Structure 1
Amino acid sequence: MLSNEVHISSLIVHVAPEYLTATRNQIESFDNAEVYGDSPEGKIIVVLETENQGFVTKTIDAISDMPNVLNVALVYHEIDKEPHEISEASGVQFSEAEGIS
C-alpha cells in the first residue's frame, strides 16, 4: 500500500558573492526550502522537502529565475514513500533513493 510521497532534494545555488545574503533570505522564504549553509564565494546549500517531483522542478526553476543566481545544481534526490513500502518477498522496508552528481 502506498500513500503520500515525500521528495527530499539538495541543491547548490551559486550567486554573485555580493548578493549572497539577499538571495539566501529569498530562498528561505520558500515554504518547502531550508538553507543549510553558505560560503563567502556565493554558494548556498539548500534542502527541499516537497510532495512530488513537480514541486522540486518548480522550486528549482523559481530559484534559477531569481536575480543574481548564476547556477542551480541538483545534487541529491530521494523519494520516501509513506508508509514505507514493505517487500512481500522479504518483509524488508525500503524507500526509493536516487543520487545525482
Structure 2
Amino acid sequence: MALNEVHISSLVVHVAPEHLNTIKAKIEEFENAEIYGDSPEGKIIVVLETENQGFVTDTIDAINNLPNVLSTVLVYHQIETGVDDTDIDTGIQHSYTEGEV
C-alpha cells in the first residue's frame, strides 16, 4: 500500500490591474492551480493542490516570475498525509467496515 501526501495551499497573487485577465489566464494553465477569486485592484486568490512541498514552491516561483506579477504570497498550507490508495477505489473496503458494525 502506498501512502500519499496532498498539499493544499492558498496564495494571494498581486498583479498590475491592467494585466489581471492576462495573468489569470496564465495561472489557469498550471495543472495544479485553481483561481477562487480576484479583485479589480489586481489581487487573485489561487488554491494549489500538489503532491509535495517542492511542487508548491516551484509553482509559487513560476507564478511570481510571470511578467506583471508584483508579488505572490503563501497564505495557507495544509498537508494531508496517510491517504491510502484504496480510499480512492470503488468503496469495497468501506462495505466490509459497515458489515462489521
User: Equivalent residue for 1:94?
Assistant: none
In structure 2, what is the equivalent of residue 52 of structure 1?
A: 52
Q: Whole-Å Cα distance in 1 between the matches of residues 8 and 2 of structure 2?
A: 17
Any unmatched runs of 5+ in structure 1? 85-101
Q: What is the TM-score of this pair, normalised by structure 1?
A: 0.80
Identity, in percent, stands at 69
Q: 5+ unaligned residues in a row in structure 2: which ranges? A: 85-101
Give the letter aligned to residue 25 of structure 1: A
CA RMSD of aligned residues (A): 1.4
Q: CA deviation at 1:81?
A: 1.1
2:53 aligned with 1:61, yes or no? no
1:17 corresponds to 2:17: yes
- Taking structure 2 as the reference length, the TM-score comes to 0.80
* Greater fraction helix: 2
Larger Rg: 2
Greater RCO, 1 or 2 (C-alpha within 8 Å, sep 6+): 2
